[in-house]
Structure 1
Amino acid sequence: MLAHLAIKDFAVVRSAELDFGRGLTVISGETGAGKSLLVDALGLLSGLRADSGVVRHGAERAELTAQFALDDASPALAWLRENELDEGDGDLACQWFTCQIRRVIRADGGSRAWINGRPATVTQLAELAGLLVEIHGQHEHQALLARASQLALLDAYGRTEHELAAVAGAARAWSELTQERATLLAQGDVSDRISWLEHQFAELDRETLDADSLAKLHADHRRHAHAAGLIAACDSAFAQLGGDEGPSLTRALHHVRGELQRVAEHEPRLNDIGAMLDEAAIQIDEALVLLDRVRGDLDVDPDAFASLERRIGRIHELSRKHRVPAEQLAGQRDSIAEELERLRGADERLQQLDAEIAGAHAHWRTAADALGARRRTAAEALSKDTTALIGELGMGGGRFEIALEPNDSERPDPQGAERAEFLVAANLGQPPRPLRKVASGGELSRISLAIEVAALGLDAVPTMVFDEVDSGIGGGVAEIVGQKLRALGASRQVLCVTHQPQVAAQGHAHYRVSKAASEGVTQSAVQSLDAKQREEELARMLGGVEMTREARAAAKRLLADVE
């Protein structure tokens, strides 16, 4: 919900800061005081086009800032996280998160925007604000004028989440299959491609390319390349360790062991040394066995070495040809094999795809028919409830209808097989017209209010703003409008700009906008009213400029009736 709104050098407002809570907040003031400027500010923060005319005369720029409080399940918070514009973990103790939108409009007509302190585009402002606030009143602010919003509200009212998800899934499956088919058809005649791939695969398949085989190949090559040196080193080591001719380490160890054993009775610690020498002799014997085995594997074989050289050369050539390291040649071979399999089965796959695409389309049609049935039932109920409320709001004889028009697209649509159009007949005997073509801003606001109340605020937007919703009405109808707004405030945060005391009395909170001349310039100021000040403001709204005893008494009665 909207928690705080700050305005600086905007139109006739030098500076104003407003705090908002839950329920219904009303904003009143004299004609021309600038009540609707707060709505205009929210509109600009929602991405509406700005011009230099909104900057207060004599100022360099206008600054607008809105602070929103979001819960963890908020679609707006999900959008912020998706766009990496969230502010971290928020207040985890109470599961509330904050979002700040700021916009600066310069006197030269330029503007900049920020979301949580990060630069943002006007498009991003509009996307985010569409999840945070709905402004009802002027045509350019009216969210319900968009047909997409109308369909979304109808789906929320009809609780069609399950059917809508089924339709979207079926449409996605159909799209993926048609894309696969288009990709196969785009390949055209693939016989040349198959022949070339078969040649590539044969070259790679002739070689053993797994990692262990490549490692063994290089080890064998190094051994043959250094065979002579390895043989000489092994022979020399064998002779020095245990050769039959000349001195050797084995005979030296046995000699030392014998000398120590003869005198060990005089020094027992020499027995420990003797044991160590015995272990060393055992290790040398084992080394001689392994050395003899290694020497037996060594042989100077020019033919074998040449064969290894040729094989390594072929692998290097394949590596250059395919532009991958030798270690990745096996993967390259497998990729070629997979592509060959796909191409060889392309004709068969195309035939399968035709059947699968037809089946996916039939599945979408079944799901879309189920969704359409739910929508028709919801449209009838919402039309009936809204029509009744329109009558209560002073539009006797008015009628609200929801027309479900077929979607002419041949492609399965994730949104279903129809589109919604909200239609309104403002007076008895008039044909219903699209809501977006209703001329009167006051009628449009009241119709929007009726729709929202009938739908019980089922759309996901947490804050609703009604600008001059009571235009052209008075008396008992105004009181009903106020009651409906207060009822809507039980499930959504509602802000209402009003000039009707019957509406203003229904507010949980009340702001007054006033204007005065300062330094030769008219300026507006915004004030939060306490109980006594509210009574005075309602008396002014009832009695006009002259505050009579009767007006104050009537104001008290209005407030008492609400309590």
Structure 2
Amino acid sequence: MLVALTVQNVVLIEKLDLAFDAGLTVLTGETGAGKSILLDALGLALGARADAGLVRQGASQASVTAEFNLADDHPVLAILAEQEIDIDGGLILRRQLGSDGRSRAFVNDQPVSIGLLRRLGDALIEIEGQFEAQGLLDPATHQRHLDGYGGNESKAAVCGAAHRRWRDAVAAYETAQAELDRAKADEDYLRHAVEELELAHPLPAEETELVAERALLANRAQLIEAIDAVNVELAGDKGADRAIAAAQRRLDRLGDRLGDQATHQLQPVVAALDRASIELAEAISQLQHMAADLDADPKRLDRIEERLYLLRDLGRKHQVPVEALPDLLAKLTQRLANLDDRGQNMAKLQGEVETSRKLYIDAASALSKARQKAAKAMDAAVNAELAPLKLEKARFATRIETAPEEHWSATGWDRVTFEVATNPGAPPGAINRIASGGELARFMLALKVTLAANQPVPTLVFDEVDAGIGGATAAAVGERLKRLAKAVQLLVITHSPQVAALGHQHWRVEKSGSKTATTTTVRPLDEPARREEIARMLSGATITDEARAAATKLLASAS
């Protein structure tokens, strides 16, 4: 609830510090004293549109600060948590307005946007006046109020969950369908690309091997010449193989002449020459094979060049390195295979769309039936409040229409609108278009009293709800305000002594001035002062003893 309001330099207000109690607070005062200025100031703190004309003449800046205590389950807490704003010690909204029309907003001394301030303000205080276009006058709130009155929150939650499942299923189906459409549009390309790559049959590391072989073949003539020269050195008439063979024969003859002892000592040398002969023969054989390979396929170099060109052309075409072509072929082949799988998956997703849509229809239908039942009960309750408020010819009705499917939402398919007919036989219409200023405030009061148990906003402001009425009607208004104040905090600007007498807290708005300045102040009234104020409201400028006696009687009956 609202616990304090500080106003500085707003129109005629120089400085005000107001502390609020729970229950019903009434503000009275003569016409033109500045009661509406208080509402303008409060509106600034709640994020209302700023006007440089609100800054007191001669001041450079106006400032309004509103302090609130919040219940543990207040919806504002979720907004503050979302914005990472600490609320230890209470919630303080502050608005500064410069004489140039620029304004700044703060929440617990943290700078915030005006939009966030307005969002918080809408959840903290609701102003019901003759010309206010918020609260119950906003059709967007009617469905929520009806659900609160009928206790349909759980059905609404089930409907919301069903709607989310349905929309998620539709989104999944549409995404899969778009992917399938794209895949089908690319199917000819995919098949051509796969056939082309399969025909090329790229192998891992193939480019590296081909480049190495090409380098070898590019130097074929020099290699053959070198191999021939080496072969002559190794196997020619004076080659190494003949030299080794000659050495082996000499050692054999030497062993024969010198006997077994010499043969034994020469054995390691003979073995080494044998190994050398074998290795040399292997080297000569490899050289011969190498020379034969170089001579065997004179066109091999051309084919390597063609293969490299083909692979590199495919790489450029698909914008991948040559070594990635085998992986690309595997991926494209899998995409083709997925076309058949996606077709099967689409049938599964379509089934989920149909199932979830049916669940939503069931939930929305159950919610709509519950709303129809609640609307009948609420209409009867509101209409029962109208006659005592001098609206006996009026009729309140809740219109519930089914929206087209494209407008079905998480809150169901109902369009809920509160309507009134102010004269018998007249067709009902939107409450804010049919009712006059004074009627409108009383309609709001009847609705608020009916909805009090489910009132989401903890503080209500009624601006001249008793305009144009008096006597028994004013008393009826006051009785309903008193009843409503048991459920929420109420601030009421009133000209009715019957209403003023019921306040738990009573302030008088006064205007004083000199030749140079006019100032609006707010004075809390004790019991004697309250009696005088109510007597003034009863009798006018001259307060009589009869008026004081009547005021005493009103206060006594109100307690």
In which range does the TM-score fall when normalised by the shorter chain? 0.7 to 0.9
**How does 1:47-196 map onto structure 2 within 5 Å?**
47-87=47-87, 90=88, 98-187=90-179, 188-190=181-183
Cross-structure match for 1:459: 455
Cross-structure match for 2:526: 530
Kindly indicate whether residue 427 of structure 2 is the aligned counterpart of residue 404 of structure 1. no
Kindly indicate whether residue 414 of structure 2 is the aligned counterpart of residue 418 of structure 1. yes
CA distance in 1, matches of 2:86, 2:337: 47
**Structure 1: 5+ residue stretches without partners:** 92-97, 208-320, 324-334
8 Å Cα contact 2:419-2:430 kept in structure 1: yes
CA distance in 2, matches of 1:197, 1:117: 65
8 Å Cα contact 1:10-1:56 kept in structure 2: yes
1:474-518 alpha-carbon deviations (Å, 9 max, x no partner): 011111111111111111111100010100111110111000113
Distance 1:83-1:322 versus aligned 2 partners, 3 A rule: farther
Shift of 1:362: 1.2
CA distance in 2, matches of 1:349, 1:412: 27
Distance 1:104-1:337 versus aligned 2 partners, 3 A rule: farther
CA distance in 1, matches of 2:441, 2:5: 23
- Mean CA deviation greater in 27-36 or 115-124: 115-124
Report the 3-state secondary structure (helix = DSSP H, G, I; strand = E; otherwise coil) of the residue aligned with 2:384: helix
Distance 1:197-1:23 versus aligned 2 partners, 3 A rule: farther
Total equivalences in the alignment: 433
- Mean CA deviation greater in 182-191 or 72-81: 182-191
Shift of 1:451: 0.3
Shift of 1:455: 1.5
CA distance in 1, matches of 2:60, 2:336: 68
- Rg (Cα) greater in structure: 2
Note the aligned Cα RMSD (angstroms).
3.0
Shift of 1:197: 11
8 Å Cα contact 2:143-2:415 kept in structure 1: yes
8 Å Cα contact 1:134-1:463 kept in structure 2: yes
Shift of 1:368: 0.5
Kindly indicate whether residue 338 of structure 2 is the aligned counterpart of residue 362 of structure 1. no
Specify which structure has the higher proportion of helix. Answer: 2
Shift of 1:342: 6.9
1:448-490 alpha-carbon deviations (Å, 9 max, x no partner): 1100101224131100110000001001111111111111111
8 Å Cα contact 1:28-1:513 kept in structure 2: yes
CA distance in 1, matches of 2:137, 2:338: 49
Shift of 1:41: 2.0
Distance 1:44-1:428 versus aligned 2 partners, 3 A rule: farther
Shift of 1:441: 2.0
Shift of 1:148: 1.6
**How does 1:224-373 map onto structure 2 within 5 Å?**
345-373=341-369
Shift of 1:339: 8.9
8 Å Cα contact 2:130-2:464 kept in structure 1: no
CA distance in 1, matches of 2:135, 2:75: 17
Shift of 1:47: 2.2
8 Å Cα contact 2:68-2:92 kept in structure 1: yes
TM-score scaled by structure 1? Answer: 0.72
Distance 1:361-1:517 versus aligned 2 partners, 3 A rule: same
Given residue 4 of structure 2, which amino acid in structure 1 is its aligned partner? H
Shift of 1:102: 0.9
Q: Percent identity?
A: 40
8 Å Cα contact 1:482-1:506 kept in structure 2: yes
Shift of 1:112: 1.3
Distance 1:410-1:545 versus aligned 2 partners, 3 A rule: same
Shift of 1:86: 3.0
Shift of 1:71: 1.8
CA distance in 2, matches of 1:339, 1:15: 74
1:264-311 alpha-carbon deviations (Å, 9 max, x no partner): xxxxxxxxxxxxxxxxxxxxxxxxxxxxxxxxxxxxxxxxxxxxxxxx
8 Å Cα contact 2:452-2:488 kept in structure 1: no
TM-score scaled by structure 2? Answer: 0.72
Distance 1:503-1:322 versus aligned 2 partners, 3 A rule: farther
